[in-house]
C-alpha cells in the first residue's frame, strides 16, 4: 500500500520537508530512529532519520537535502503524491534518561533529527543546551522548533551571516570549558562535523553519541552494507545503531564507505537530469 504525502514544503532551495501518512510507524517511532523509503518500482531504498513523529495524527516528518538522484526525485513530489515503500521505525531509539545537562549539536540537515532527541531529553527533565549550525543563514532550518525544546539555543554559521561566525564545535568547546557540568553530548550532522565534535569532547571525558548515516539497503541487519568500526569491532549501523559512542567510531572508515558509489551516484544524477530535460545524450 503506498504511503501518502500529506504536506510538502521547501525549507531552502535544496532542503525539503515532507510529512507522510504512516499511522502505525508514527505510533511506534522514538527519537533517534530512522525510516527507509523507496519512491517507485525502479527506485533505491534510502535511509532517512525521523525528524518528527506524531502518533496522534499518524504522521512522520522527514527532512532531506538534494544530494543525488533519489533525493532530487523526492524533492519533486508534492502533497497528494505517494511513496511506494516506507519502512520503520528502524534502528535503536536514543537512550533518554535524566542525566542533568545535555548538549545537542545539529549541523546542516542534522538539525532536523536532533530536534526529537532534544525534545525527548527536555521531556525527561534534562537541561538541554542546543547548538545548531549551517554554512549560512539561508541554510539554517527549524530554528524556532529547536528553540522551543531547548533551555538555551546557540546558532553558528560558517560565513557569519547569523549567530556565531564559525563552527558548532567552537561553542561546544566554550560550553565544556564553562562552569556547567555537562553529562552528555549528542551530535548529528556531516561525518566531518561529528568527528570534530568527538575530538572536542574527548579531552573532557564527556559521553558523546553520534548518529551514523551509513549506506544501507534493507536496514534490518541482513546485508551488512552499513558496517562501521566501533571500538575496533564491526557493527551494523542499522541494527546496532544508528547511535554510537563517538569516541570509539572509526570516522575515516565511515567517510570512505560513504564515497563507495560516488561515480555511480553522479551517473544516476546526470541521467535523471537528462531524462527530465529531454536531452538526447
Partner 1 sequence: MPVLDRQHMPRQDPEKRRKNFEEVALGYSGEQAKKEASRCIQCKKPACIAGCPVEINIPAFIKCIDEDDMEGAVKELKSMNALPAICGRVCPQESQCEAVCVLGKKGEPVAIGRLERYTADWELGTKPIPEEKPEPTGKRVAVVGSGPASLTTAAELAKLGHSVTIFEALHKAGGVLVYGIPEFRLPKSIVLNEVKYVERLGVSIQYNSVVGKLDTLDELLEEFNAVFLGTGAGLPRFMDIDGENLSGVYSANEFLTRVNLMKAYQFPDYDTPIKRGQRVVVVGGGNVAMDSARCAVRLGAEEVTIIYRRGEEEMPARNEEIENAKEEGIKFKILSNPTRILGDESNWVKHIECLNMELCEPDESGRCRPEPKLGTEHLIDVDVVVIAIGTSPNPLIPMTSKGLKTTKWGTIVADENGITSKNGVFAGGDVVTGSATVISAMGAGKIAAKAINNFLNN
Binding stretches for partner 1 (CB under 8 A): 1, 24-25, 28, 38, 42-45, 69-70, 84-90, 217-225, 227, 229, 234, 239, 252-253, 256-257, 259-261, 264-265, 267-268, 271
| Minimum CB distance to partner 1, residue 265 (Å) | 7
| Identity of the residue, 37 or 209, whose beta carbon is nearer to partner 1 in the bound complex | 37
| Identity of the residue, 70 or 201, whose beta carbon is nearer to partner 1 in the bound complex | 70
| Identity of the residue, 79 or 260, whose beta carbon is nearer to partner 1 in the bound complex | 260
| Minimum CB distance to partner 1, residue 227 (Å) | 6
| Identity of the residue, 56 or 233, whose beta carbon is nearer to partner 1 in the bound complex | 233
| Identity of the residue, 119 or 257, whose beta carbon is nearer to partner 1 in the bound complex | 257
| Minimum CB distance to partner 1, residue 224 (Å) | 4
| Minimum CB distance to partner 1, residue 229 (Å) | 6
Backbone angles phi, psi at 263, to 5 degrees: -60, -45
| Minimum CB distance to partner 1, residue 228 (Å) | 8
| Identity of the residue, 23 or 190, whose beta carbon is nearer to partner 1 in the bound complex | 23
| Minimum CB distance to partner 1, residue 8 (Å) | 21
Amino acid at each position: 500500500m503506498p504511503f501518502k504525502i500529506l504536506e510538502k514544503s521547501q525549507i531552502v532551495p535544496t532542503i525539503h520537508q515532507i510529512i507522510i501518512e504512516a499511522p502505525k510507524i508514527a505510533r511506534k517511532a522514538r527519537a533517534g530512529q530512522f525510516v527507509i523509503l523507496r519512491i517507485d518500482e525502479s527506485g533505491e531504498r534510502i535511509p532517512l532519520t525521523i525528524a518528527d513523529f506524531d502518533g496522534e495524527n499518524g504522521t512522520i516528518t522527514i527532512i532531506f537535502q538534494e544530494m543525488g538522484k533519489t533525493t532530487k526525485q523526492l524533492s519533486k513530489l508534492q502533497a497528494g503524491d505517494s511513496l511506494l515503500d516506507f519502512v520503520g521505525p528502524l534502528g535503536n531509539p536514543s537512550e533518554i534518561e535524566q542525566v542533568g545537562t545535555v548538549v545537542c549539536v545539529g549541523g546542516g540537515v542534522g538539525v532536523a533529527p536532533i530536534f526529537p532527541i532534544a525534545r525527548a531529553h527536555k521531556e525527561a527533565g534534562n537541561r538541554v543546551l542546543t547548538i545548531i549550525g549551517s554554512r549560512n543563514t539561508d541554510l539554517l532550518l527549524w530554528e524556532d522548533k529547536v528553540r522551543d525544546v531547548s533551555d538555551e539555543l546557540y546558532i553558528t554559521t560558517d560565513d557569519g551571516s547569523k549567530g556565531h561566525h564559525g563552527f558548532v564545535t567552537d561553542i561546544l568547546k566554550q560550553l565544556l570549558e564553562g562552569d556547567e557540568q555537562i553529562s552528555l553530548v549528542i551530535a548529528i550532522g556531516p561525518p566531518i562535523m561529528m568527528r570534530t565534535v568527538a575530538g572536542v569532547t574527548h579531552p573532557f571525558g564527556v559521553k558523546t553519541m553520534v548518529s551514523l548515516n551509513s549506506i544501507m539497503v534493507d536496514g534490518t541487519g541482513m546485508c551488512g552494507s552499513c558496517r562501521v568500526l566501533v571500538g575496533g569491532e564491526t557493527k551494523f549501523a542499522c541494527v546496532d545503531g544508528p547511535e554510537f559512542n563517538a569516541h570509539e567510531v572509526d570516522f575515516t572508515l565511515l567517510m570512505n564507505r560513504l564515497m563507495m558509489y560516488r561515480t555511480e551516484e553522479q551517473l544516476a544524477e546526470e541521467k535523471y537530469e537528462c531524462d527530465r530535460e529531454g536531452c538526447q545524450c
